[in-house]
Structure 1
């Protein structure tokens, strides 16, 4: 029996639909973000776009930090 390997959560690949669900926005919004380079970086796997969970999490953390800083909370 081959050994079981577990991928860290940060390596999980997400679909555009899953990213939209995380942000609670329409899929079209995530597509627009990608086209305008405004959202988390995605990449193509064949004809499909995928996002690394770690990249999405970092994007969220960065936006939270930027918001706090712009609100004057350091």
Structure 2
């Protein structure tokens, strides 16, 4: 059985993981200075869409990939 990649950046490059991503995964993936920066993004409604599982915030890797694609698309493509 192949092991799942532990580096969040490898997750998006290598395919969808078998788990949802935590804010700490996105901080590592995007090279943000801290989780606080990420939560500031959330308050400003910047960043990929997430959802709550109880008190925990999680992200679908497919939604994260779609958000990254949207951010990197040329503006004149519309």
What TM-score results when the alignment is normalised by the length of structure 2? 0.68
| TM-aligned CA distance change 1:36 to 1:11, over 3 Å | farther
Can you give the 5+ residue segments of structure 1 that lack an aligned partner in the other structure? 1-7
1:34–1:14 distance in 2 versus 1, CA, 3 Å:
same
Aligned residues: 62
Structure 1 consecutive aligned stretches of length 4 or more whose deviation exceeds 3 Å: none
Aligned 8 A contact 1:39 1:59 in 2:
yes
Of Structure 1 and Structure 2, the greater strand share is in 1
TM-score normalised by length of structure 1 = 0.71
Q: Which runs of 5+ in 2 are unaligned?
A: 1-14
In structure 2, relative to structure 1, the CA distance for the partners of 1:11 and 1:52 (3 Å cut) is: farther
Q: 1:10 to 1:61 in 2, by over 3 A?
A: farther
Query: What's the RMSD between the two structures over aligned residues?
Result: 2.0
Instruction: Say which SS state the counterpart of residue 13 (structure 1) adopts.
Output: coil
- Which residue of the partner structure matches residue 50 of structure 1? 58
Query: Per the alignment, do residues 37 and 13 of structure 1 end up closer, same or farther by CA in structure 2, a change over 3 Å counting?
Result: same
Larger RCO: 1 or 2 (CA < 8 Å, sep 6+): 1
Q: Which has the larger radius of gyration?
A: 1
